[in-house]
A and B are shown apart, each in its own frame.
Chain A
Amino acid sequence: MTQSPTLNRRSASSTPPLPRKSRQRGADARAGYTFLLPWLLGFIALTVGPMISSLYLSFTNYNLFDPPKWIGLDNYTTLFQDERFLQSVGVTVSYVVFGTPMKLAAALAIAMLLNSKRKGQGFYRSAFYAPSLIGASVSIAIVWKAMFGDSGPVDQGLSFFGINLGGWVGNPSMTMPMMILLTVWQFGAPMVIFLAGLKQIPADLYEAASMDGAGPVRKFFNITWPMLSPVIFFNLLMETIHAFQIFASAYIISNGEGGPAGSTLFYTLYLYLRGFSDFRMGYASAMAWLLVIVVGIITLIFFRTSKSWVHYSGDSK
């Protein structure tokens, strides 16, 4: 069922070319580019062009007023001496490293709980998914801030159990847990994808394992994990990349400043502040390119290491 473009091309070229076919091919090429035009235009004008420009700008000092001034690698070298930049890296990395696995663990655990033929499964699935739809909105950021504020429901709930943390919003060591809870709360989207993946695992595998006397833990590691690994990989990759780019909720929760004490100064927020608040567009462009490079490297590492733990159906084991 997998039709990759490569396969199609191979089968097409295996037939000897006929004059009529080659005319057809020319027509196809024209039609192909015509249909592709909207995307191609957008790709060149909105992605490739701007990427080249921002690469150029990243080597300049550019404040929007005066023409860009070429300064070579200065922006990049300054970055690593900029304490705020290093702080933003720290904030973002801890968000990605703690938030993403927690979110995916919750998603997987709950997907496994829901993966049964019980009544109400559809309802739970929808209910758990809902936060993913609204989680990135300004409204939710506002509500989150109110909920975790002084004498908000979270503070009161914890006080009931004798834990007096006060409001989380103003406490530099509690804002990160708060942001992580906000992303974990949106476990619904990866959960639904996990659930679809779990349904693909043939039931007889589990039955056979049961007969061999395998317990739930062994079944999980011997069947569920390897069979689900492509889906886990997909979710991990997408969630990690998304986590690097968090912006709106951090902006709203910290009043656009990344406080308290820089504890919510996410990478993209600092990039925005540097570019659009301090007007250091060259510096911000350097930050953007560094992000592209880092995300690229992480993607590469993911794909490289995936060979050892991701099993696609049809692979020989």
Chain B
Amino acid sequence: MINRRNFLTTVALGTASAAVLAACGQSAPAQTGSASNPVTINYTWWGNDDRAERTRKAIALFESKNPDIKVKGNFSDFAGYWQKRATEAAGGGLPDVMQWDLSYLRDYGQRNQLLDLGTVKINTDAFEKSLLPSGQIKGKTYGIPTSTNAFAVYYDPAKVASLGIAEPDGNWTYAEFNKFLTEVGAKGNGALFGSTDYTGVWWMFNIWLRQNNIEAFTGDGKLGFTKDDMKKWWNLTKDLRGTPAIVSEERTTQLAPKSPFGSNVTATEVTWDNFMAGYLADSGAKELKLVPVPSDDPDNLGLFLKPSMLMVASAKTKYKDAAARFIDFMVNDPEVGQIFKTSRGVPASKTQRDGTTFEGTDKLVVDYEKSIEKYLKDAPEPPIVGFGTLETSFKRISSDLNFGKVTVDGAADAWFKEAEDLIKQNS
């Protein structure tokens, strides 16, 4: 795989590298392992301490059931995770098995970095047929969903009650939702705010587009919405910004990496339903509830089950079989479900889901996904190449909007410029 850049850089290193290279050379390892001589596969994931703990338990279980395979685990935070994967991929050194996010599936799948899991043995019989396409690109399966999550409005019933406001039932329009936030902010007396600016969340925008029957991205990797759509979206909370209905961006920055909702500064938050456990731990609240997102069309909530994460394997893995067995175990094994509960989302495989007992908060999440079943539409296709970057700029530009650094028009212009530039770069 010598091309021009390799040549240039390799020449630059000269003799020193040759010596090091020789010293580091290894003989090719065997493709399959045995109990006495197991193969080792690398597995990496993002997440917090809690997930690390659970994952280690799952790995230990897998190793005890598969003595011919050892799994070496690594993890990092979400942002750092993608920096690492990109640089590893560039050198052909992706770990054998990885936890993956829908936002980055196309980046790597389309660039032939991921293994076509259709070529190995993974049992997908227990999966909803509508869910699997979100792990597929052009007919090839690059990712298997571990679990699903759905968008929801979280609220803390105790806080809402203490303000003397009726609990919401999730049957609301944007105007009604805004009114609710305004009321919380007004009665919160500077101590409690309505929410963070929900128009700063990409997936909420995506849902709003679906409510208006617009696809975010076209089949050929272009934007499916216009600048006007985006302005309309960001204008939804125009009158709320700078009022107690929305917690100030200053405050949000101060609290980071903890969220305002987890810090008991806001009464509601719009996000994925599998964040429940984290919010409960952070806020120390006795109970948190989930209701559907607002919509101006009561028959179309734009909701869908998204794979909260996927399992993928490197295209260059030497241990396809071992990788496939590990993936199969992680997505299907009921005991793995018992370990993770809903911390990865609701298990996607029915085998795993049925084998897991959900109690307390976990039950809330499962019940929520059941309650919205009738509104669910197909899961989205993997977004365009470079989507991760666009999602980050969406959040950043929306934050600038709340700081009052840009107008809605300027914000839409800025995002479109970046998006068009990115699409051009990757075409």
Contacts and interface: CB of A to CB of B under 8 A. Distances in A.
Interface stretch (A11-19, A220-228, A277-285): A277-285
Contacts of A44: 12, 14
B83 A277 contact: yes
Nearest to B426: A63
Residue of A166, A170, A262, A276 contacting most chain B CB atoms (<10 Å): A170
21 contacts: A45-B16, A48-B12, A49-B9, A50-B9, A56-B8, A64-B89, A65-B86, A65-B90, A65-B113, A68-B4, A150-B254, A170-B248, A170-B250, A172-B403, A259-B396, A260-B253, A261-B249, A262-B396, A276-B87, A277-B392, A278-B386
Contacts of A48: 12
A171 interface: yes
A263 to B, nearest CB: 9
A45 B86 contact: no
A99 interface: no
Contact of B414 (A41, A83, A172, A276): A83
Contact of B405 (A65, A261, A278, A280): A261
Interface in B155-190: none
A120 B176 CA distance: 69
Interface string B235-265: 0000000000000111111101100000000
Measured as residues with beta carbon below 8 angstroms from the partner, the interface class of chain A is 35 or more
Contacts of A276: 83, 86-87
Contacts of A166: 250
Closest 7 CB pairs of A and B: A49-B12, A64-B90, A170-B253, A170-B250, A170-B254, A261-B403, A260-B253
Contacts of B14: 41, 44-45, 49
A255 B256 contact: yes
A273 to B, nearest CB: 9
Given A45-B14, A67-B3, 4 more contacts: A44-B12, A171-B250, A259-B399, A261-B400
B396 A257 contact: yes
Contacts of A172: 403, 405
A53 B82 CA distance: 24
Measured as residues with beta carbon below 8 angstroms from the partner, the interface class of chain B is 35 or more
A50 B12 contact: yes
B427 to A, nearest CB: 11
Interface of B: 3-5, 8-9, 11-17, 79-80, 82-83, 86-87, 89-90, 111, 113, 248-254, 256-257, 386, 389, 392, 396, 399-400, 403, 405, 414, 425-426
A83 to B, nearest CB: 7
A131 interface: no
B242 to A, nearest CB: 14
A49 B79 contact: no
Given A67-B4, A276-B86, A278-B389, A149 B113 contact: no
A290 B400 CA distance: 27
A286 interface: no
B248 to A, nearest CB: 8
A27 interface: no
Interface string A42-66: 0011001110110011000111111
A252 to B, nearest CB: 12
A63 B111 CA distance: 11
